[in-house]
Amino acid sequence: MTAAGGPVGEERTVRVEVDRDACCGSGNCVLAAPEVFTQDDADGLVLLLAAAPPAECAERVRRAADLCPAGAIRVT
């Protein structure tokens, strides 16, 4: 078992949720993880491309959430 509780070698994935009502359109999420986030061409607000991105994206997704000035990204 790993310290995170899963079997050794198991890739842990993250789940991502966005709150478009809270989004201010800064685009930090897109810069941090473009494979997971984009911005709506009409209003500039966040669009989620992958609610369950691959494990190798987890660190970039967490960084995107940390960089969001509006707190519009939730990672579990």
- Other C-beta atoms within 10 Å of 43: how many? 11
Q: What is the pLDDT of residues 5-53, one digit of tens each?
A: 444 555 668 999 999 999 999 999 999 999 999 999 999 999 999 999 9
Q: Where are the beta strands (DSSP E) in the chain?
A: 16-18, 37-39, 46-48, 73-75
Closest CA to 16 of 66, 65, 68: 65
Interstrand relation of 37-39 and 73-75 (parallel, antiparallel or unpaired): unpaired
Please list the residues that pair with 73 across neighbouring strands: 18
Q: Is the pTM of this model over 0.85?
A: no
